């Protein structure tokens, strides 16, 4: 139900001001909505004729046509109608076309690929600082780390935590010494 309609239905019992405060609605917006009631009713009545014609075209296609083809058929019959209006009327009266397209699978995992090992063992607790490094990668630091300070990048797509240091001379054994795979 529309909040404005609720205010309109109950304003005699509780008052417009109180209902608008409770529903977090501006009173001026409510009165503007109320003033446009006749225009909305006229549009509802004006949508009845195109809805009947849309149903005829839709039934003629055995329910297969969607809004673009229905619009093309109506224009071929000599009517001046916008596709946006056809979409609105079809949605309003629950007229839908048939979807024949299948979902396209864009990512295919390689069967021979080995899963990434869980080096933390799902245990994120530590007894002392500096033993495990992990991060989300969703937020960037405003300043770069010191040349010897390690930072961790965690990919959103894999469970692999990569320890990156500014010192390019470190060996793989030093990078994995804290239990983090490089």
pLDDT digit string, tens, across residues 55-104: 999 999 988 999 999 999 999 999 999 999 999 999 999 998 887 778 88
- Together in a domain, 21 and 79: yes
161 φ, ψ to 5°?
-100, 130
Evaluate whether residue 58 is within a structural domain.
yes
Domain that includes residue 24, residue range? 3-92
Q: Among residues 54, 76, 92, which one ends one of the domains?
A: 92
- Together in a domain, 133 and 79: no
The answer, as to whether pTM is greater than 0.85, is no
Buried b (16+ CB within 10 A) or exposed e, 39-55: eeeeeeeebeebbebbe
pLDDT of 117 strictly over 80: no
What per-residue confidence (pLDDT) applies to 116? 73
Say if CB 56 and CB 45 are below 8 A apart: no
- Together in a domain, 84 and 29: yes
């Amino acid at each position: 139900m529309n909040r404005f309609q609720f205010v309109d239905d109950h304003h005699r019992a509780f008052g417009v001001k109180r209902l608008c405060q409770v529903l977090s609605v501006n009173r001026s917006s409510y009165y503007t909505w109320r003033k446009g009631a006749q225009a909305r009713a006229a549009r509802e009545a004006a949508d009845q004729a195109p809805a009947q014609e849309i149903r005829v075209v839709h039934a003629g296609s055995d329910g297969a046509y969607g809004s673009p083809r229905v619009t093309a058929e109506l224009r071929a019959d000599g009517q001046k109608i916008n596709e946006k209006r056809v979409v609105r009327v079809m949605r309003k009266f629950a007229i839908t076309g048939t979807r024949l397209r299948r979902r396209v699978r864009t990512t295919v995992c390689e069967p021979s690929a080995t899963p990434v090992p869980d080096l933390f063992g799902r245990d994120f607790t530590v007894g002392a600082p500096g033993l495990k490094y992990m991060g989300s990668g969703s937020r960037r630091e405003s300043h770069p780390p010191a040349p010897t300070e390690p930072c961790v990048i965690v990919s959103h797509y894999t469970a692999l935590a990569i320890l990156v240091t500014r010192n390019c001379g470190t060996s793989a054994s030093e990078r994995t010494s804290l239990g983090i795979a490089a």
